[in-house]
Chains A and B, each alone.
Chain A
Amino acid sequence: MVSKVDESRLLKRARAWEEEALLQIYDLYRPGLFRYAYRLLGQEEEAEECVAEVFARFLFALRRGQGPQRHLRAYLYRMVHNWVRDRFREHPVSPLEDVERTLLKDPVGSTTEEEAVRRWQAERLRQALRRLPPRQAKVLSLRFLQGFTFEEIAETVGTSVGAVKALQHRGLENLRRLLKEEDL
C-alpha cells in the first residue's frame, strides 16, 4: 500500500512523464488490478486485456493533462470496474457459458469436492454481482473482494462514506436475495 503523500508525488512525476514513475505505478498497481479484474471477469486473458487497456487509457489521459489529480489507486480501480461493466453490457454472458468456462478451466476429476464447491460459489457470486446495480456491485466488490475501506470506496465511487455504507447495505440485501434464486 502506498501512502497518500507518496502517491501524490508519484502522480506528479507521472504527469512530468517520468518513465521511472510511470513504470513504478504499473508495477505497484498492476497485480491488484489484475486480481480485481480476474475476480470480476473470471478469465485471465480478459483480465489482462482489461488491465492493459486501463493503463493505456491512463497514459492517454495523462498526456492530455487529464487523469487523476489525487487518488490514483481509486481512479485505476474505477476504470477497471467500468471496463468490466462495459464488457458485460456489450457482450452479456449467459449462465451456461459461465458453467462451460468453469468446466473447461477445471476439468472433472482434477479438483476436490471442496474446491469444486468453492468455485461454484465464486461463480454464483460473480453472476450475482453482475446483476446488481452498478454502484452497489462496485461497493461490494471493492469492500469484500479488495478490502477497501469506506473512505477509499467513497473516493473510488465518488460519493460520501455514508452513501457508501447505504449502498453496501442495500447491495448485501439484494445479493442475499439473488443468491437464493434458483435460476441464478
Chain B
Amino acid sequence: MTRREEPWMELDEELARYFQALATEEPEVDFRRLREAREHYRAMVRALRPRGRVFWTFWKERFALMQPFFRRAFALVLVLAFIFTGSVVVVRASERALPGSPLYTIKLWQENLLLMRARSPGVRAQLHQRFAQRRIHELRDLLASGRQQESLVLLENLLYHVNALAQMAQGEPGTPPANLTADIQMLASVVGPQHQQALLETVNALYEGKRFVGVLEQRQGTVWTIDGTQVLLTPDTLVQGVPRAGDVVEVVGHSLKDGRWQAQWIRVAARAEARAPLEISIVGEVQRQGQFWRIDGHEFLLRDPALVDWLTPGTLVEVHLQWDTREETWKAVKVEPKTSYKGQVREIYGYVEALEPHRVQVNGAWWDLAPEAEIEGALQVGAYIELEVWQDAQGQWRVLEVEVENEKEEKHESGDDDEVDDGKDNLSHEETSFEENRHLSSQREDVTLEEPDYSPLEKGFVEDLSEDRDQDAEDHEE
C-alpha cells in the first residue's frame, strides 16, 4: 500500500489509530439497492435531457472528441461545403439582379466563367444567346424605370454577346457597322417604341464622335437632318437602303467643328413605326398651286398622277386624303367628282365640223379645249369623236378628253359590238342622242345657263353618265 493510500501514517500514533479506524470502515454493499439507485439515476438522466440542443451538442461533442487530424479534415470539409452551398445560393440569387446591385457583378462573373468553360462552339453560341436575352430583359427593366445611365454598361455587354454571335454565325469577324446596325434593329424591335429614344441615346453615348443613331427628320439634297443634327452627304457617302423621314438611321462619319456631321455612310437601322392611316375627305373646288393641289384650304399631293387626268381647277370634287407620316403631308388617295347641278361629266359623240387651235365644233356647238385636255388620236374635221366634258363650279363646260373613234365604221359593219347587243345600231344612236339632247335642253332651262356656248348641246349627242340623268330620263319617258 502506498503512502497515498494510508495517509494517516504520517500522523502521530494516536491520531493514526483514529483515522485508520475510520478510513478502513467500509459500508455494506447492497447490490440490489445499488442497481436500483443506478436505474433511478439513468431515469433521471433521460428525464432531464435538454430538448433542441441535443443535435448540436451531440456533434459538438463528437467534434471535440475527434483526433486533431480528423478534426481539421472535418472542419475543412465543412468549410468547403459551406462555401459551395453559399456560392450556389448567391449565384441563384444573382440571376435576377440588375445593374447597381452587388449581386450583378457576381452574375457577370458567373457568365464569364461559363463562357470560359464552354469548349464547344455550339455551347458557346447558346450561352451568348442566353446572356443576350438576359441583357435585353434587363435593358427593358432599366429603361422602364428610367435608369438610362446604368443601361450603358448593360448595353455594352449586350452588344458584346450579339457581336460574338454574329462572328460565330459568319465564321469571320464581323464589321462593327454591320453588327451595330443589326443590333439596333434588334434592340429597337425588342425594347418597344416607348424606349426607343432612350435606347438611341445610349447607343450614341457608346460611339460618341464616330457614329450615331437617330431619327431622320428631313432630307434636303445633301443635307439631312437627323435628330436635329445636320448631316452632310458627300459624293463618297454611301447610302444604303432608302431612308425616309421617320426612319431610324445609323450614321458613320465624324463631327465637324460647326457641330454638323459629315457622313461616310448612312444606313436604315429601323423603319418608322407604322401608324394607322389617318384619312379625311373634303369637298370643294380644286385650286392648283404648283405641284400641290389645294382644295378648300387643304393642300395635298396626288399620290397617283393618273388622278389628275380629268381634274381641273375650279371643279367640285370630293377628295379622300390620307396623312403620310413620313412626308408629313396629306396625300390624295381617291378623288371623286362631286355631282351637282353645276358639276356633271358627260360624253358627247359627233363629227368634227370645224376645228380651231383651242376649240372644236361638234354637232354645231363649239367646245373649248382645256390646256390639260387629253386628245387621243388624230383630231381633224370629219372625224367621229367622243368628247368628255366637265362642268366646273362656275358653270363653264370644259373638254377634258377627246377620243377619236376611227373604228366607228368598222363597228357599224361588223354589228357584233356592245352597242348592237344593246339593241341599238349606230344609226339609231343619233336618234337616242337627240332624245338625250332634248333632255339636257330641258335641264339647262332649269339652270338658266347664261353662256351661249351651251346652246349646241341641244343638238349634240350627249350622254349623261350621272345617276341623276337616268332618273330624269325615266321621269321624262313617263
Contacts and interface: CB of A to CB of B under 8 A. Distances in A.
A172 B14 contact: no
A146 B53 CA distance: 37
B19 A17 contact: no
Given A16-B57, A17-B50, A47-B27, A22 B45 contact: yes
Contact of A121 (B18, B27, B50): B18
A144 B7 contact: yes
Main secondary structure of the interface of B (DSSP, over half): helix
Interface stretch (B34-42, B156-164, B244-252): B34-42
Nearest to B64: A12
Nearest to A43: B27
Interface residues of A, number: 45
A75 interface: no
Interface string A90-125: 000000000000000000000000000111011011
Contact of B11 (A19, A147, A172): A172
Interface string A50-65: 0110011001100100
A59 B44 contact: yes
A124 B41 contact: no
Contact of B45 (A23, A52, A128): A23
B19 A145 contact: yes
A48 B48 CA distance: 21
Contacts of A85: none
Contacts of B242: none
Given A22-B45, A48-B33, A34 B15 contact: no
Interface string B13-53: 01101110111111110100100011011101110111001
B45 A149 contact: no
Contact of A59 (B17, B48, B58): B48
Contacts of A175: 15
B454 interface: no
A143 B64 CA distance: 34
Contacts of A88: none
Nearest to A40: B22
Interface in B321-354: none
Interface in A121-148: 121-122, 124-126, 128, 143-145, 147
B33 A15 contact: no
A52 B45 CA distance: 12
Contacts of B306: none
Interface string B214-230: 00000000000000000
Nearest to B53: A17
B276 interface: no
Nearest to A126: B22
B64 A39 contact: no
A122 B60 contact: no
A18 B74 CA distance: 21
Given A44-B28, A119-B21, A122-B25, A18 B15 contact: no
Contact of B15 (A15, A56, A176): A176
B54 interface: yes
A13 interface: yes
29 contacts: A16-B60, A17-B49, A17-B53, A17-B57, A18-B61, A19-B49, A23-B38, A23-B41, A30-B37, A48-B37, A51-B37, A52-B41, A55-B41, A63-B48, A63-B50, A118-B21, A119-B21, A119-B25, A122-B18, A122-B22, A122-B25, A124-B18, A125-B18, A143-B7, A144-B7, A144-B8, A145-B23, A147-B4, A172-B15
Interface of B: 4-8, 11, 14-15, 17-19, 21-28, 30, 33, 37-38, 40-42, 44-46, 48-50, 53-54, 57-58, 60-61, 64-65
Given A17-B53, A117-B21, 9 more contacts: A9-B65, A17-B50, A38-B27, A51-B37, A55-B41, A56-B44, A124-B18, A126-B22, A145-B23
Closest A-B pairs by Cβ, 4 of them: A16-B61, A16-B57, A121-B21, A122-B21
